[in-house]
Homo-oligomer: A and B are copies of this chain.
Amino acid sequence: MHDGHGRIFDPAARRWTRTALAAWGEPVPPRRALDWLQRDSGTPLRAPVAVIGTRTPTAAQVAAAVAMGRLLAEHKVTVLCGGRSGVMEEVCRGVAEAGGLSIGLLPDDEPEAANPYVTVPLATGIGVARNALIARAACCLVAIGGGYGTLSEIAFALQFKRPVFLLEGAPAVDGGRVCSDAEAALDAVARVILAL
């Protein structure tokens, strides 16, 4: 994969390297490049993308969460979340509909606390301190609405230098980037993963 400007993408290191080769062919949009990375490159991104947000979503936030889950799953990206209700449940529902993989990092002692759509529930037993782990484990985060809990995850993510994309009224923190909808957030995620 090249960028039309003489650079080729090293999928293992997820880095672009300048090459002497002339550019050829058509440029592809980020999400097609993401597909190639996740399906055909042999070295897909393994670290998950986190989707976080409010436990009491509006209809628009539900729609955004389901769409986000479906889009990430369609591009074979693993989704990380808090495993509980609200946005966490809706994103897992979207992932499940697309046959993808979601991991729920639960605050609870037992996996039964997970919502029914989580593929793999991980009971941490450490309460909301698990928010720090969600921010750390993700290569980037998409926030959909949310209160203090979501704010703590965004703050940690920015401290850990993970890009944060804000949807549907997520807490506005300097350093986060507002996206208009799930499609725009997927493009932003794809660009992070492709180091564009």
Give the B-binding residues of A (Cβ under 8 A).
46-48, 78, 80, 101, 103, 105, 109, 111, 114, 118-129, 131-133, 136-137, 139, 147-149, 151-152, 155-156, 158-160, 173, 175
Identical chains in the assembly: 4
Q: What's the Cα separation between A76 and B133 when bound, in Å?
A: 26
Are the C-beta atoms of A124 and B136 separated by less than 8 Å? yes
Residues of B within 8 A of A132 (CB): 125-129, 131-132, 152
Q: What's the Cα separation between A145 and B136 when bound, in Å?
A: 24
The 25 listed contacts between A and B (C-beta, < 8 Å) are A46-B114, A46-B119, A47-B111, A48-B120, A80-B122, A103-B120, A103-B122, A122-B133, A125-B127, A125-B128, A125-B129, A125-B132, A126-B126, A126-B129, A127-B127, A128-B132, A128-B156, A128-B159, A131-B156, A132-B132, A147-B159, A148-B158, A151-B155, A151-B173, A152-B155
Interchain CB contact (< 8 A) of A159 among B122, B136, B148, B159:
B148
Are the C-beta atoms of B120 and A126 separated by less than 8 Å? no
Q: What's the Cα separation between A127 and B132 when bound, in Å?
A: 10
Are the C-beta atoms of A136 and B109 separated by less than 8 Å? yes
Q: What's the Cα separation between A131 and B156 when bound, in Å?
A: 10
Q: Please give me the 4 A-B residue pairs with the lowest Cβ-Cβ distance, nearest first.
A: A152-B155, A129-B132, A148-B159, A151-B155
A45's nearest neighbour on chain B, judged by CB, is B111
